Amino acid sequence: METKVRVIPNARPSIGKEELLEVQKVFETGWLGMGSVVFEFEKAISGYLGAKHVICVNTGTSAIHIALDALGLKEADEVIVPSLTFVSSIQAICACGATPVFCEIDPDTLCIDLKDVKKKLTKRTKAIMPVHYGGEPCDMEGLISLARQFSLNLVEDAAHAFGSRYKGKMVGSLGDLTCFSFDPIKNITCGEGGAVVTGDDKLAQIIIKKRILGIDKDTWHRYKNQRSWSYEVVTKGYRYHLSNINAAIGMVQLRKIEDFLRKKRDVCGQYNAAFNGLKGITLLKRDYGNIAPFNYVIRVKKDRDALIGYLKERGIDAGIHYIPNHLQPAFKQFYTPLPVTEGVFDQIATLPLYVDMNEQDILRVIEAVLSFLKC
């Protein structure tokens, strides 16, 4: 009888009894929606990041949308964004009625190319959305300087970068608005969730109202898990708030983050040691002493798709992050040629990376990649 090879997934969450116990506690209170646990989670994130305001929402996509919406973007306003990002970044821009203006990436880091951003500026540009790809922070000094020069807003898509540092400062304490994701495979998970982080008091108050249908009310009762019937609707809003159930999972995950990052950095270090200097692949520039690695991406110089198929045959799930958005049918009206992005897209492959990878898993991946390169 043929033995079935255990599949090594590309990514998966690290969750267990501790998270389940905290969810049980929420169940016992009978208050499952937004309440005191969400408030505690926001306070804990604020302390971890050194951030003034943290507003938790139900997804990372909601975080980006509500951050852009709080800026009052309207039709014909432009947001410069790299094409090599998850589709949620672009959908959030479009949901505000604004226009995504696609720009190039640095092929060494896959982060936004500041030189190309400058070329894409127009009178209609209202915001720049850098994406901290794979946990690697973008050139925030350059971006902040450019934004100030032209009175633009910086909305950081930091879905990959919770726990990353830039020149000694935590991502989330740098720009105008920073958006995080806590979906199942991010550096910490709430099951589903996200957060907007800002140092701007006015923007924070707008976002707080918008995340729960534009309602302005005394939140003391809500955070104390007591009901209050009085409320006023003062602005356009959405049902984007996080639940106590999801926040309970996030609280446990946050306590584990440094251990999570240590383990993921160790996997990346082993990959680097095995692949550095090989003729068939190029490694990205990464400072694993400071970043929170979300994924591990290599550039395959010849026949990337063949490598992915080769790994799949051996029970190893490799992926591609991401298909450039300027090539997607839904965004064809925003198309612009991006030769660097398109060239990188033809080469990138994402290898398995998650907290609970064991040494056998890591060795299997390394040996399979080396074996492919010898073919």
Active site positions, annotated: 186
State which residues form the domain around 169: 17-252
pTM (2 d.p.):
0.95
Structural domain tally of the chain?
2
Paired with 196 in beta bridges are: 55, 179
Map 160-172 to HEC letters. Answer: CCCCCEECCEECC
Residue 10 belongs to some domain of the structure: no
In a shared domain, residues 75 and 189: yes
Residue 227 belongs to some domain of the structure: yes
Q: Inform me whether the pLDDT recorded for 178 exceeds 90.
A: yes
Residue 7 belongs to some domain of the structure: no
Residue 6 belongs to some domain of the structure: no
In a shared domain, residues 269 and 341: yes
In a shared domain, residues 71 and 186: yes
In a shared domain, residues 242 and 137: yes
Q: Inform me whether the pLDDT recorded for 233 exceeds 80.
A: yes
Q: Look-up: residue for tokens 């646990």?
A: 37
In a shared domain, residues 223 and 269: no
**Range 203-218 average pLDDT:** 90
In a shared domain, residues 221 and 264: no
10 CA to centre of own chain: 16
β-pairing, 281-283 vs 194-198, is: unpaired
pLDDT tens for residues 310-362? 999 999 999 999 999 999 999 999 999 999 999 999 999 999 999 999 999 99
C-alpha dihedral, 28 to 33 to 36 to 40, nearest 10°: 110
214 CA to centre of own chain: 25
Residue 5 belongs to some domain of the structure: no
Q: Look-up: residue for tokens 């965004």?
A: 331
In a shared domain, residues 234 and 262: no
